[in-house]
Structure 1
Amino acid sequence: MRSATVSRFFTLFIAGIMLMPSLSYSKINTAINTSSFTGAYLAGRIANYENKIDLAIDYFQQALAYQPDNIETQKELLEVMLSAGSFKEAVKQAKKLKEQDVITPFVSLTLSIENLIRKDYKNASLLLQLKAPRIPNNPVPELIGAWATFGSGQKSQAIADLEKIKGPAWYNLFISYHLALMNDLAENTQDAKKYFIQALNNRQGTLIAPNTYERIIIAYASFQLRHKMRNQAIQTIKHGEQMLSGREALKNIREKIEKSASLEMLVKTPQQGAGEVLYNFGTALSHKDSGRIARIFQQLSFTLYPQNDATLFQLANISARLGDPRKAIKLYRALPPQSPYYKDGQLQLAFLLADINHNEAIKLLTFLRKKFPHDRHILITLAAIYMQNNKFSEAAKVLDRTIVQIQNFQRDDWKLFYQRGIAFERLQKWSQAEIDLRKALEFYPDQPQILNYLGYSLVERDQKLEESLRMLQKASALQSQNSYILDSLGWAYYKLKQYDQAVKILEEAVKLQPEDPTLNDHLGDAYWQVGRKREAVFQWNHAIDGEAKNSKNIQKKLKFGL
């Protein structure tokens, strides 16, 4: 399905650079005065579900004005305060709950962190023992507790406590990493090196917690630089770039080290150590789609470790994913220019701005082009934003300039030809489009989106149907649950007059994406050809209800059939 591929261009194209969905602004709502506890409470729940956390706070506070002793509302208010980064208010709320003998996971964590900030390490540890956040196999309290013990001066005991922790295999990445940080801070050089290497050799870590693995790479490189091992530090960063492809932050750090720059120690205090724990698990949870808990962990991490640009960057990413673009924009703009995450943050900021102010996004990218004249990702992003606004000619020109500048092409450059191929196809320059799409396929023969776009485009033109069918079969094998690829494959069977097979495939596509008008239209056509005319009419009507772009053609089919 080509049109769907175009409309979801960013999801497909940016996957190799950064994952940033296109987000549109919703109107900023202010809480209205409610006339009952139930009304205020339900409004708060809805606002929280919609990730309008400031609004949720207002409504939960209104609800508590009606029923001050309602425990459930107090607990939910605490969680949205933490999610909003309102730590002082959250501490007050947590203390209220504790006074009522209500100890939830976030009550204990909030009060423990408050004690860590005040350097009351004994109470920080005691509070963590009351209750831990509800995450299966959760080592967060033990790790933060160990940092509290470390802060109290019992460094050897803290290290020994961590060494005793047993759990699933994935624990080892986090335990080894924090043992390395503690030993580094305690100046146990050999033990620090041993645990850094253990963490570094945990290849599962790149899958389990890639952002934590990135931090391990940076921390170990810093350790090596401080021990006069600059060449080894460069190799460590290069290893990270290989293991975590496309990490702009690692590239930026390597380039600075190669120019004889130093690299600060990642964790210098127990507070920063505890903040690092929350960052590590916040990013791991973010990868598992636990966005709300991830945001709470990152906000608490930032409270403990406000100098950590990585946390700021992750908070912006989470805000964007949770549909809070205003917050995301504010956070991306807060990244300092010297941060290794600055460039990535500015590119993602450009995508957010493009949804509300195309000219502002272009202005930002023009500024970035001057600041980073040799960075092709900026031009790629500029072209993508032109594409988003249907300015295909401008996009093609930008990509022309980008491609001409490249002397040594790499596999990752498939995106350039894929993107320009789409622009040419939309400009009705099919011969040029086909050349670029096939060039993209040369770089990456197993890339399902290229196979889908090229295959579907050929099917639509009744060209090379057997070849296009093979492409789409391959794409479907690579992404069997992609409804748009299944639609393309089903439509290829339809064009080849293999209607029974077309019905089978198109039904699977519609099951995955039941509201898509194009999928329903195609399935209706296939039903008609196999004699299932009532079902065809139903699917065509459903396509019209879904605001199909070709509604006039569908109306004609409803009147006369095929």
Structure 2
Amino acid sequence: MIPLALIALTAAPLLSAVAPQSLPGAALLGGTALAAPGQAWRLAQADDQGADAERPAHRPGTAEAPTDDAAAKAKDAPATPAADALPMRGLAGPYLASRMAAIQNDFPNASDYALRALAQDDTDPFLQDSALVALIAAGEMERATALAGTMADQGRATELARLVRRTELARTARWDALIADLDTAPKQSDASEAPGAELVDGLIRAWALLGAGRAGESLSEFKRLAKTRGAATMVNYHRALAQAKVGDFEGAEQLLSDPTVGAHILGVIARAQVLSQLERNKDAIAMLEASPGLEEEPQLGALLERLKKGETLPFDAVQTPADGIAQVFLTFGSVLVSNDEPDPLALIHARLAEYLSPRLGEARLLAAQLLQGFGQFDLAEQEFDALRELGDMRPVAELARIDVLARAERLDDAEKAALALTAAHPELAQGWIALGDLLRQQDKFTQAVPAYDKAISLIGKDSPEALWFPLYARGIALERAGQFPKAEADFRAALKIRPDSAQVLNYLGYSMVDRNENLDEALNLIKRAVELRPDDGYILDSLAWAYYRLGRYDEAVAPMERAVAAMAGDALVNDHMGDIYWMAGRQREAEIQWHRALSLKPATEAEAHRIRAKLDRGLDAVLAEEEANGGKLPPPPPQPAPADSGSEGD
């Protein structure tokens, strides 16, 4: 079960009918500097493709899940000053500040600056559009509604402004006014060019008709919309909800029993309630027990327990037509997320959905994960907090929340959240993996091992594919905790499951190189990793270092130079390049690399001290000193305290 993919279907037909650019507000987003979110909305899963290849001892124990470009950019980008921190006069200042904040996906400041600009000129449609998008993205729905009303009063309402206006009419149950607004709206000259907008409007109208007490017309409208190319699955889900709402549970069950219509979390909940209303609790129980991922969705588990007690479930999957419209927005937002590159418009739809139906947890979860993708971790945390306040502590939401906190470098809060999740759901292996990753990220390697132990015991030997990552991660923790024999066993076990895992091949190979053990096997392991990921700087560094350990200095130069080209800003890689140049007889170039490594701030003072010693006395002398001192370079002599230039009585 995929909680975020609200409509579990083959997306191609629907997306061909509902292209993102055809949905309301798409044109506005094109004119507003919102960067497309990266992949952070996905839960961090161990994926061998694109993950950083971590190296033992020299690299912090961070998670090996795919890196998040949006998070990295958000971390590195300069913060936008708060709107009240910059005294500005005139239009240009707040306008430019708003644009810069929008480029950085800083929605609160983008909206504040845009409103400041509008205070100077409240008739500029571009400024109004920019402010409206930023206000919705920031969750400032009351201000967005007021602005949309102003745009309508001025006769300059855009598609998005009209959508916000309709959302407010639905929220306040003004159904006749909503129907009139839809019926009198400007029509597309060619409806075939904007099927998405027509479908959204049609679904809203069908729900509004139900709200106005015109149930027959409402159901007829749903049936008409189901004929839209590629949209039958989506529309039939909403039609089923509407039929159940008016008491036609037989008709609703007929629609929801189609796997393409109801095979998602909201559909499963609705169908369980419909079956219970039909006095078919046994069928509802069987359906729930057959649902994949049941143990990860407490909502479904709670329904199952009530059904087993003989309780008749009320139908409250939608309590009002406004809830139905909220699910329309959620449906389209989820479809947009299913694209390879999630559209910023998905966030707009998620925000509209949660505004209409504040208790719709899926809308808040979708918004949270999209905000995470935009690098807006504080806004995402607000959504996760709202989920918890609803009593909706679903593991999928908590795992995403933990990831958000970790990426925002709020590691203490992330660790507390992981501990709370493992306490609430001790049966969930992913919770223990998340806890282990967090502990490892904080260099708490010994503490991380029991967390991975628990996860591995829960997964069991019957699910080997699910075992490889916790085995690999536990191996890292064990190696960093000084227990290499146990770590090696985990790495080899992980390789039996995924023999072509470049991460594991590299880590095991580099571990042996670093320990000066089994160098021939280590070299072969790393060569295989390079074949799999030929442009990975970390793995190229490992290959060069293996050649260095084997005394094959000339062969080490080429891969090390490729590693430096790929990771020019890495202190350790530049340090290694210097060592290899030195041993290859290129002392002047070695010194240049060591100077560069020092300028890049090595991870520890011990590393910096060793580089300074090499610059002072040469690598040969440093190696001799280390050999004479049990493999460690003697620490630098204590520096004399600076002389006190003053004297008593001065």
The structure-2 alpha-carbon separation of the partners of 1:182 and 1:37, relative to structure 1 and needing over 3 Å to count, comes to same
Cα distance between partner residues in 1 of 2:146 and 2:120: 19
One-letter code of the match for 1:105? E
Alpha-carbon contact 2:332-2:349 (below 8 Å) kept: yes
Hey, what does 1:299 align to over in structure 2? Answer: 351
DSSP-derived class of the 1:335 partner: helix
1:139 aligned residue (196, 199, 208): 196
1:151 aligns with 2:212: no
One-letter code of the match for 1:285? L
DSSP-derived class of the 2:226 partner: helix
DSSP-derived class of the 2:63 partner: helix
Hey, what does 1:382 align to over in structure 2? Answer: 435
Q: Which has the larger radius of gyration?
A: 2
The structure-2 alpha-carbon separation of the partners of 1:48 and 1:21, relative to structure 1 and needing over 3 Å to count, comes to closer
Listed as ranges, the matches of 1:414-425 within 5 Å are: 414-425=468-479
The structure-2 alpha-carbon separation of the partners of 1:535 and 1:409, relative to structure 1 and needing over 3 Å to count, comes to farther
2:234 aligned residue (156, 160, 174): 174
1:318-375: CA deviations, max 9, x gaps? 3333233332233222224775553443444455556666555555555544444444
Hey, what does 1:204 align to over in structure 2? Answer: none
Listed as ranges, the matches of 1:489-500 within 5 Å are: none
Alpha-carbon contact 2:225-2:232 (below 8 Å) kept: no
1:272 aligns with 2:320: no
Task: Report the alpha carbon displacement of residue 80 of structure 1 after superposing the two structures with TM.
Answer: 1.0
1:435 aligns with 2:483: no
2:258 aligned residue (194, 197, 204): 197
Indicate the structure whose relative CO is greater, using CA pairs within 8 Å and at least 6 residues apart: 2
One-letter code of the match for 1:161? R
1:469-501: CA deviations, max 9, x gaps? 554565566667755455545655676788898
Hey, what does 2:378 align to over in structure 1? Answer: 326
2:332 aligned residue (275, 278, 281): 281
Alpha-carbon contact 1:150-1:157 (below 8 Å) kept: no
1:309 aligns with 2:309: no
Cα distance between partner residues in 2 of 1:193 and 1:50: 47
2:445 aligned residue (392, 398, 419): 392
The structure-2 alpha-carbon separation of the partners of 1:220 and 1:512, relative to structure 1 and needing over 3 Å to count, comes to farther
Listed as ranges, the matches of 1:255-270 within 5 Å are: 256-257=303-304, 260=307, 262=313, 265-270=316-321
Cα distance between partner residues in 2 of 1:214 and 1:499: 58
2:128 aligned residue (49, 74, 77): 74
Hey, what does 2:138 align to over in structure 1? Answer: 84
The structure-2 alpha-carbon separation of the partners of 1:103 and 1:406, relative to structure 1 and needing over 3 Å to count, comes to closer
Alpha-carbon contact 2:219-2:239 (below 8 Å) kept: no
Cα distance between partner residues in 1 of 2:358 and 2:365: 12
Cα distance between partner residues in 2 of 1:223 and 1:475: 53
Cα distance between partner residues in 2 of 1:531 and 1:264: 79
Cα distance between partner residues in 2 of 1:225 and 1:6: 55
Task: Report the alpha carbon displacement of residue 427 of structure 1 after superposing the two structures with TM.
Answer: 1.9
Hey, what does 2:161 align to over in structure 1? Answer: 107
Alpha-carbon contact 1:223-1:265 (below 8 Å) kept: no
Alpha-carbon contact 1:23-1:323 (below 8 Å) kept: yes
Percent identity over paired residues: 26
Task: Report the alpha carbon displacement of residue 298 of structure 1 after superposing the two structures with TM.
Answer: 0.9
Task: Report the alpha carbon displacement of residue 101 of structure 1 after superposing the two structures with TM.
Answer: 4.1
Hey, what does 1:206 align to over in structure 2? Answer: none
Cα distance between partner residues in 1 of 2:182 and 2:188: 11
The structure-2 alpha-carbon separation of the partners of 1:68 and 1:27, relative to structure 1 and needing over 3 Å to count, comes to closer
Aligned alpha-carbon RMSD (Å)? 4.5
How many matched pairs? 539
One-letter code of the match for 1:280? T
Task: Report the alpha carbon displacement of residue 391 of structure 1 after superposing the two structures with TM.
Answer: 1.7
1:488-545: CA deviations, max 9, x gaps? 4565567678889877766776666554444555567778889999988876666555
Q: TM-score, normalised by structure 1?
A: 0.77
1:52 aligns with 2:106: yes
Listed as ranges, the matches of 1:468-507 within 5 Å are: 468=522, 471-472=525-526, 475=529, 484-485=538-539, 487-488=541-542
1:143-186: CA deviations, max 9, x gaps? 3422313431312432233222125xxx5653454454445546
One-letter code of the match for 1:295? L
Cα distance between partner residues in 2 of 1:122 and 1:43: 39
One-letter code of the match for 1:58? D
Cα distance between partner residues in 2 of 1:96 and 1:440: 61
One-letter code of the match for 2:307? S
2:87 aligned residue (5, 8, 33): 33
Cα distance between partner residues in 2 of 1:188 and 1:21: 49
Hey, what does 2:628 align to over in structure 1? Answer: none
Cα distance between partner residues in 1 of 2:596 and 2:264: 47
One-letter code of the match for 1:257? L
Q: TM-score, normalised by structure 2?
A: 0.68
The structure-2 alpha-carbon separation of the partners of 1:159 and 1:200, relative to structure 1 and needing over 3 Å to count, comes to closer
The structure-2 alpha-carbon separation of the partners of 1:188 and 1:391, relative to structure 1 and needing over 3 Å to count, comes to closer
1:411-463: CA deviations, max 9, x gaps? 32334332222112112222222122223334554544333422332343344
Alpha-carbon contact 1:13-1:415 (below 8 Å) kept: no
One-letter code of the match for 2:133? E
Cα distance between partner residues in 1 of 2:522 and 2:194: 48
One-letter code of the match for 1:174? M
The structure-2 alpha-carbon separation of the partners of 1:240 and 1:356, relative to structure 1 and needing over 3 Å to count, comes to same
The structure-2 alpha-carbon separation of the partners of 1:137 and 1:446, relative to structure 1 and needing over 3 Å to count, comes to farther
DSSP-derived class of the 2:307 partner: coil
Cα distance between partner residues in 1 of 2:559 and 2:197: 46
Cα distance between partner residues in 1 of 2:92 and 2:414: 43
Alpha-carbon contact 2:151-2:157 (below 8 Å) kept: yes
DSSP-derived class of the 1:62 partner: helix
The structure-2 alpha-carbon separation of the partners of 1:393 and 1:227, relative to structure 1 and needing over 3 Å to count, comes to same
Task: Report the alpha carbon displacement of residue 199 of structure 1 after superposing the two structures with TM.
Answer: 1.5
Hey, what does 2:642 align to over in structure 1? Answer: none
One-letter code of the match for 1:278? F
One-letter code of the match for 1:324? Q
Hey, what does 1:457 align to over in structure 2? Answer: 511
DSSP-derived class of the 1:139 partner: helix
Cα distance between partner residues in 2 of 1:139 and 1:158: 16
Alpha-carbon contact 2:330-2:353 (below 8 Å) kept: yes
One-letter code of the match for 1:431? P
